[in-house]
Amino acid sequence: MASPGKKAYPLRIDPALWAAIERLAAQELRSANAQVEFLLREGLARRGRLPNPSDTAPPDPDTPPPPPEG
């Protein structure tokens, strides 16, 4: 089951690549899933495309919407 606020996504991956991810995750004391997310974030950051955390966080129901631009 996916963690709250996380998107579940089935991933088809080469078994040898998955084994390498599992080894790396064990060395860095992460789950394989957390390691995949870490590597994806690292890759996006290197390319300058890491989303702003406020862009990916679910909206706070107590925060009013921003005023319209114009």
Per residue in 26-59, is it b (16+ CB within 10 Å) or e — as a string? Answer: eeeeeeeeebbeeeeeeeeeeeeeeeeeeeeeee
Q: Cα dihedral sign for 10, 39, 59, 1?
A: positive
Q: Determine the straight-line distance between the first and last CA of the chain, rounded to whole angstroms.
A: 42
Domain ranges of the chain: 15-48
pLDDT in tens, 50-61: 877 655 555 566
3-class secondary structure, 34: helix
pLDDT in tens, 6-64: 889 999 999 999 999 999 999 999 999 999 999 999 999 999 998 776 555 555 666 66
The pTM (predicted TM-score) of the whole model is 0.67
